[in-house]
Amino acid sequence: MMRKTSVILLSAATGAALTLFVTQPRAVFMGSSARAATADTYRQLNLFGDVFERVRSDYVEKPDDTKLIESAISGMLTGLDPHSSYMDAKSFRDMQVQTRGEFGGLGIEVTMEDGLIKVVSPIDDTPASRAGIMANDIITNLDEEAVQGLTLNQAVEKMRGPVNTKIKLKIIRKGQDNPIDVTLVRDNIRVRSVRARIEADDIGYIRITTFNEQTTEGLKREVASLSNQIGDKLKGYIIDLRNNPGGLLEEAVTVSDSFLEKGEIVSTRGRNAEETQRRTAHAGDLTKGKPVIVLVNGGSASASEIVAGALQDHKRATIVGTRSFGKGSVQTIIPLGSGNGALRLTTARYYTPSGKSIQAKGIVPDIEVLQDVPDELKSRTDTKGEASLRGHLKNDGDEKTGSQSYIPPDAKDDKALKLADDLLHGIKNSASAAPTPGSDNKGTTDKPKAAN
């Protein structure tokens, strides 16, 4: 069977596109054992057909044939591993929107509170910000329809739509006696996966929340802005990947490449040896050799672990925090034709430059920092990790479960951030600390080891 186009992704939670590739059909010659296996497969397919017909004819209520088939496909894929799954047409469209990081909408970050939609913040230069929508506004109605009773996803879907179309919002704002009616025209919205600020007057802090098609460009933009604002007193950069579930492998590669001059970034290895692919860095360090600290925790997964692993193996950055999630597999999105959704299928494992698989083990930080967790949150701030997922791909050696994923809401209480500040200011030292300006940070030229 020929797979014409497939999209590869990395994510611990939701999928995201990576690379298009074409595989050529191969002639297959079967011996007697292969023919016997094929015959057994057909017998099993006949069994499936028998069960399907019995359900259709005898179930207490008339079933939906489409849902039966989709459920059967979903069961087949989820039985493989935790990250293989079937996406119906709507789920596939949602994944594509998330992958692009761009959609028609209003530009509001929202959450659900007491059954209503609460504005977290409007995104700069969007219909929402231009209309004066404010953080903590409560949205009660969308086009005269009450929000009460809708899920957060349903409400978000209603606010999104084609560019240049209108939607009316009814808003309750603290301090206002009467609801506010606002009519907005949807525009093209880009999700900000990269945010930055100046830390301690001379450090560039950059938080990457996901790896979508906008991430590398966002990183470049923020590095340039921080460099211009801070100037010659810039000590270095903190890259915060905590609780980043992953996303596009291609973006993980280009983000890693932004800090490296040369060397392997990651390799992916499928079932067949000829499918091994290696990605290498190109000359040009975006930060011009400035020291880099990378923050990770139990919620840092997949594409985040590729970046942390590449910079750690090349000794380009000091990794600070707690052990990462441990998702070391690659998923390929295989469209099933118009209106039929797609498969998300695990097709490869990935390896760090030193040839290490982090599957079910995670990235171990150079410096472990445990946060002070409030008593009421202590039972809810650890991530069990990949090794705890039923049916996960096994790895050689001891697998690791459980890692702290709590981030204090107030930066002054963030012990990992404080240590990163101290390292960049030279207050504390580490044997694996980030290189100082002017040092040789071009990355190791050692040949990566083959994984067992």
| Sequential DSSP letters for 402-445 | -EE----SSGGG-HHHHHHHHHHHTSS--TTPPPPTTS--S---
Vertex 408 angle, CA 189 and 138, to 5°: 45
Q: Residue 220 has which token pair?
A: 């470049």
The answer to whether residues 213 and 190 touch, using CB atoms and an 8 Å cutoff, is no
**Does residue 382 carry a catalytic annotation?**
no
The answer to whether residues 300 and 322 touch, using CB atoms and an 8 Å cutoff, is no
Please identify which of the residues 81, 94, 240, 313 carries the catalytic annotation.
313
Please identify which of the residues 302, 324, 329, 357 carries the catalytic annotation.
302
Burial class (CB within 10 angstroms; exposed 0-12, middle 13-18, buried 19+) of 78:
middle
Please identify which of the residues 170, 235, 290, 327 carries the catalytic annotation.
327
The answer to whether residues 368 and 322 touch, using CB atoms and an 8 Å cutoff, is yes
**Does residue 313 carry a catalytic annotation?**
yes
Distance CA 70, CA 201 (A): 55
**CB under 8 Å to 311, separation ≥6 — which residues?**
256, 259, 260, 292, 294, 317, 319
Query: What does the radius of gyration of the chain's CA atoms come to, in whole angstroms?
Result: 24
| Sequential DSSP letters for 48-105 | HHHHHHHHHHHSSSPPPHHHHHHHHHHHHHHTT-TT-EEE-HHHHHHHHHHHHTEEEE
357: amino acid identity, one letter: S
309: amino acid identity, one letter: G
Q: Which sequence positions are flagged as catalytic?
A: 302, 313, 327
